[in-house]
Structure 1
Amino acid sequence: MIKIEDLQLFGREHFASAVATAAEMGGNAQAIAAAVGDYAKKSMEDGNAMVTELATVKSMEKAIEIQGDYARMAYENFMAEGQKIGGLYADLARQASKPFESVMAKMTSAA
């Protein structure tokens, strides 16, 4: 039979774990926001630099070369940042599931 004290202790432990996880998730969310902001800033700067360089071009071949180089660089940066931000989201998901892991472990060991 389950005692009331055991339920109260279980609830307190779960609440403390959830509060700690929420604090960690806030830090992860800030890291994601910073990474997205940095990527957006860098993308704008790179695009501006490409347009500035494109404005000085005198031949069509050179313009196509500059656009091709920019497209390649933008794609590579997008893929790299996507992997970085995806990893941050994976960390966030792991942090979000931690309280449930401990609860499930206690529930399965009690059964």
Structure 2
Amino acid sequence: MIKFEDFQQYGQEQFASAVASAAEMGSNAQAIATAVGDYAKKSVEDGSAMVTELATVRSVEKAFEIQGDYARMAYENFVTEGQKIGGLYADLAKQACKPFEGFMAKMTSAA
């Protein structure tokens, strides 16, 4: 049986751990927002450059070539940035669960 004092101590430790984790979660969320913003900006710039280049072509074949190159590049960038942002989200999820790891280990060992 868990004593009330032990449970209270676990609660205080858990609170301290959660407060420490919250600051790091904020920086992780900021990194995600920055990565998404950078990707969106680059994507718009690349699309604008493609349209500008497309406006200057004189043949249909060259237009298809430009569109194909842009589609390939956009897909590759999407996959690369998606993996990067997915990794940032995984880090954020790990950080969110971190305060509970020690608490659950102590609660199960005390029982």
Query: TM (normalized to structure 1)?
Result: 0.95
| Partner in structure 2 of residue 54 of structure 1 | 54
Cα separation, 1, equivalents of 2:44 and 2:19: 38
Identity score, percent: 82
| Partner in structure 2 of residue 40 of structure 1 | 40
Cα separation, 1, equivalents of 2:83 and 2:76: 11
| Partner in structure 1 of residue 105 of structure 2 | 105
| Partner in structure 1 of residue 76 of structure 2 | 76
Of 78-87 and 14-23, more deviation after overlay is shown by 14-23
Q: Please, which runs of 5 or more residues in structure 2 have no aligned partner?
A: none
Cα separation, 1, equivalents of 2:73 and 2:26: 32
Of 100-109 and 74-83, more deviation after overlay is shown by 100-109
RMSD: 1.0
Q: Please, which runs of 5 or more residues in structure 1 have no aligned partner?
A: none
**Structure 1 position 8, deviation (Å):** 2.3
1:33 is matched by which residue type in structure 2? A
2:109 is matched by which residue type in structure 1? S
**Structure 1 position 5, deviation (Å):** 2.8
Structure of greater relative contact order (alpha carbons < 8 Å, 6+ residues apart)? 2
| Partner in structure 2 of residue 28 of structure 1 | 28
Is residue 2:67 matched to residue 1:95?
A: no
1:103 is matched by which residue type in structure 2? F
Which string of whole-angstrom CA distances, capped at 9 and with x for unpartnered residues, describes residues 46-82 of structure 1? 0000000000000000000000000000000000000
**Structure 1 position 35, deviation (Å):** 0.1
- Secondary structure of 2:57 counterpart: coil
- Alignment size in residue pairs: 111
Query: TM (normalized to structure 2)?
Result: 0.95
Cα separation, 1, equivalents of 2:83 and 2:7: 42
What pairs up with 1:9-20 in 2 under 5 angstroms? 9-20=9-20
- Secondary structure of 2:58 counterpart: coil
Could you list the structure 1 runs, at least 4 aligned residues long, displaced by more than 4 angstroms after superposition.
none
